Amino acid sequence: MMFALCLCASVANFYSFSVKSVDLLRCITGESVDSMFWLRQQIRFDRNELSGAIGDIGTDFPLLVGMILAAGLDAPSVLIMFGALQVMTGLVYGMPMPTQPLKAMAVIVITQKLAPNILYGGGLAIGAVMLLLTVTGLIGWVARIVPKSVVRGVQFGLGMQLASLALRDYVTSDGWPGYALAFVAFALTLALLGNRKFPPAPFIILLGIAYALLFKLDGGAFEHAVGISLPKLHTPQWADVLTGFLVLALPQLPLSLGNSILASQRVADDLFPEKKVTVPKISLTYSLMNLISPWFSGVPTCHGSGGIAGHHAFGGRTGGSVVIYGALYLSLGLFFGGGFQSAVKLFPLPVLGVILLFEALALMKLVRDMLANAGDFFIVLLVGLIAFGLPYGYVIGVLFGTLIVYFGKRILQAQPNADERR
């Protein structure tokens, strides 16, 4: 009950703050648009937005937990900054444009147990690189030269990776009881998917909570869990930024260009064409998030096509789903950050695996517009398999797929037609 009250209070406070911020902006710019009307167009809070808010938790939650535990990060700082960035993007875009941990960076940090200062340096480094690409216009150039079939291939590869992670690591984590729990969660999601009156995600989360209370609850896990926490200030060093660039930013950059920027814009255009989201806007907010977050001990973040698809698949249609999602992390960090590392072990991973699986399916389903052309679909499969199976597969897939598309066109253009051969 206390957590629910904190969550509601966080949403209400940010909504009120947003109204005042918009009024101030309108005053400065001289525009007469009513702030409440503008917010109603951008933000909505209802059961479908609440369901959509859970649509990306299967991707974010395990990566955040893994980095906190592996690198010894300050849990309240990570949660507060991650939540604040969610609220910011929900207000800026007025649609489900959630932020996600940078996946390549997260995996490297978790597997190699890198120090927090290297992670923060890597975040600043990739933020600076993305800002440079944005202000020079090179992001737009990249967006124009990369074919749609190649972007679809990146989405397909990411979907396969997410599905593989869900089925291999999450669903199997609790043995036979976990399999049974995952089956129930899967059947429940399948029965309610697309139901605007009774969206599936809240029921799945309640199922996971009930399972944890019955089989995993330990009163000692919540000792000293409640208390006020604030993010810790951090001053990055140039040496950390350089090391972070070499160790973390370089491996992350291809994935960010392929999925966080190009594929996110494509999915946003597919699902929310009226928003007219552009590549420069996505890359700008991407860069600003990573130029701000490390100073407050936050993890590097990005936008992601999977996150947009996940929020949409579970009912999100406005920025409200992202604001609610951000308020969840803000409440955890501000009021329950002290006991987070113990508490996260209670929630069953098989339930998160089911959420992640449906996000992966929603992402892979987007390639259906490539089925009509055999050549385009071949590129989708090729790029997707390369991205899924090879180290640095995203950069290799984007480059190789783009070269094949343009090289193939040149061959066809160079061949004489039938009349000329006669």
Whether residue 18 is predicted with pLDDT greater than 60 in this model: the reply is no
**Cα 9 from Cα 117, distance rounded (Å):** 33
**Cα 396 from Cα 400, distance rounded (Å):** 6
Nearest to 270 by CA among 315, 309, 322: 309
92-111: per-residue pLDDT in tens? 999 999 999 998 788 788 77
Taking residues 119-132, report their average pLDDT: 96
**Cα 341 from Cα 65, distance rounded (Å):** 8
* Highest mean pLDDT out of 124-138, 168-182, 184-198, 254-268: 124-138
415 vs 208: which has the higher pLDDT: 208
Taking residues 341-361, report their average pLDDT: 78
Q: 61: Cβ–Cβ under 8 A, 6 or more apart, which residues?
A: 344, 352
Tracing tokens 């370089």 back to the chain, one arrives at: 250
**Cα 161 from Cα 153, distance rounded (Å):** 12
Which residues lie across from 302 on neighbouring strands?
A: 100
Three-state DSSP class for 99?
strand
The answer to whether 340 and 75 are in contact (CB under 8 A) is yes
Q: 183: Cβ–Cβ under 8 A, 6 or more apart, which residues?
A: none
Cα angle 219-202-36, degrees, rounded to a multiple of 5: 115
The packing angle between helices 349-364 and 57-71, to 10°, is 130
The pLDDT value recorded for residue 25 is 41
The pLDDT value recorded for residue 414 is 56
The answer to whether 289 and 127 are in contact (CB under 8 A) is yes
The pLDDT value recorded for residue 12 is 47
Token pair, residue 336, equals 């329950």
355 vs 318: which has the higher pLDDT: 318
Domain boundaries of the chain, sorted by first residue: 1-40, 43-217+234-413
Taking residues 415-422, report their average pLDDT: 50
CA 417 to chain CA centroid, nearest Å: 47
Give the burial string for 315-327 (b: 16+ CB within 10 Å, else e): bbbbbbbbbbbbb
Number of H helices, E strands in the chain: 22, 2
Give the burial string for 86-112 (b: 16+ CB within 10 Å, else e): bbbbbbbbbbbbbbbbbbbbbbbbbee
**Cα 200 from Cα 172, distance rounded (Å):** 22
Q: Which of 80-84, 251-255, 281-285, 417-421 has the lowest mean pLDDT?
A: 417-421
207-261: per-residue pLDDT in tens? 887 888 788 766 555 566 677 889 999 999 999 999 999 888 887 887 788 778 8
Q: Is 72 left (phi over 0), alpha (psi -120 to 50) or beta?
A: left
**Cα 342 from Cα 310, distance rounded (Å):** 27
Tell me the whole-structure pTM to 2 decimals: 0.70
Nearest to 21 by CA among 96, 79, 88, 86: 88
Which residues lie across from 173 on neighbouring strands?
A: none
Percentage above 70 pLDDT, the chain: 82
25-73: per-residue pLDDT in tens? 445 444 445 555 666 667 888 888 888 887 777 678 778 887 887 788 9
Q: 303: Cβ–Cβ under 8 A, 6 or more apart, which residues?
A: 89, 97, 98, 99, 100, 260, 261, 264, 282, 285, 286
The answer to whether 86 and 99 are in contact (CB under 8 A) is yes
The pLDDT value recorded for residue 7 is 45
The confidence band for 300, taking pLDDT boundaries of 50, 70 and 90, is very high
Three-state DSSP class for 396?
helix
**Cα 239 from Cα 398, distance rounded (Å):** 31
Which residues lie across from 303 on neighbouring strands?
A: 99
Three-state DSSP class for 303?
strand
The answer to whether 108 and 123 are in contact (CB under 8 A) is no
**Cα 263 from Cα 364, distance rounded (Å):** 12
Q: What is the chain's mean pLDDT, rounded? A: 81
418 vs 117: which has the higher pLDDT: 117
**Cα 87 from Cα 94, distance rounded (Å):** 10
The answer to whether 48 and 316 are in contact (CB under 8 A) is yes
Q: Which of 178-182, 374-378, 412-416 has the lowest mean pLDDT?
A: 412-416
359-392: per-residue pLDDT in tens? 788 878 888 989 988 888 999 999 999 988 887 7
